Amino acid sequence: MRNKSAGQKVIVPTRNKHAHSLSVATNEHISVHWCVDAAGHALPPMNIFTNSLPGGPYHRLGPVNASYACSDSGFMDQTLHLQWFEKTF
């Protein structure tokens, strides 16, 4: 289908007559390690990006005291967990 307003092609299933929204598909994975207790108290989260940290002021727009890291997979590993633990406690 063709989105006339943006001049871009959009892929939708053949049974759909119109694309109701556009979305971006990427291979990037982001994990958030967040700990909350039963009373609702939350520790500062750790945001983990795939391969490298993004450009721009991402760290100023996130939660207060959040930490940011990257790994090859975008998932937390033993090293990142230890880093988060030492920073938090």
Q: Which amino acid is at 52?
A: S
pLDDT per position in the chain (89 positions), as tens?
444 555 667 666 777 666 666 555 566 778 999 999 999 999 999 999 988 888 888 778 888 889 999 998 889 999 999 999 998 88
Backbone angles phi, psi at 59, to 5 degrees: -75, -20
pLDDT of residue 2: 45
Average pLDDT, the chain: 80
The residue among 88, 55, 53 whose CA lies nearest residue 68 is: 53
pTM score, two decimals? 0.64
pLDDT of residue 24: 55
Domain limits, the chain: 2-88
